[in-house]
Amino acid sequence: MGETTDTAGEWVTVDAQTRRRILAHTPEMMVVEVEFQPGGVGAEHSHPHLQSSYVKSGTFTYTIAGKTQTLTEGDGVVVPANARHSAETATGGSLIDVFTPAREDFLPA
């Protein structure tokens, strides 16, 4: 197994209402905190990684493969690999996302 980062990485601005930081990773798995301001949107997208999302704070409307659900603090969801998905929050809040394998596109250059 590859080396694991021991401390959280630097915050990376995704857009005006969203930022993320890598909390830990190996080549096999990555843990990322994503922080949203009120009205923040994670636009619909897909990727080949299996993903789980845990709501650390706030309330999110999460859509996975056309099915929408409301998630609040303490809730979690699994996003299958390649599934189209999005998230938005009126309240603002934070998600803890876990990806397997790691999102190499999130690693610093």
Cα separation of 39 and 37, whole Å? 6
Domain of 21?
12-92
pLDDT tens column, 25-41 = 999 999 999 999 999 99
| Percent of the chain scoring above 70 in pLDDT | 94
Residue 47 lies in a domain: yes
Asked, for residue 56, whether it belongs to a domain, the answer is: yes
Residue 104 confidence (pLDDT) above 60: yes
Q: What would the pLDDT profile of 87-102 be if each residue is shown by its tens digit?
A: 999 999 999 999 999 9
Q: How many domains does the chain fold into? A: 1
Which of 90, 95, 51 has the alpha carbon at shortest distance from 75? 95
Q: How far apart are the C-alpha atoms of 46 and 44, rounded to whole Å? A: 7
- pTM beyond cutoff 0.85: yes
Q: Is residue 103 part of a domain?
A: no
> Which among 46, 53, 30, 52 is positioned nearest to 82, based on CA atoms?
46
- Residue 58: HSE in the Cβ half-sphere, 13 Å Cα cutoff: 23
Q: Is the pLDDT of residue 13 over 60?
A: yes
Task: Check which CATH number belongs to the domain holding 55 and give it.
Answer: 2.60.120.10
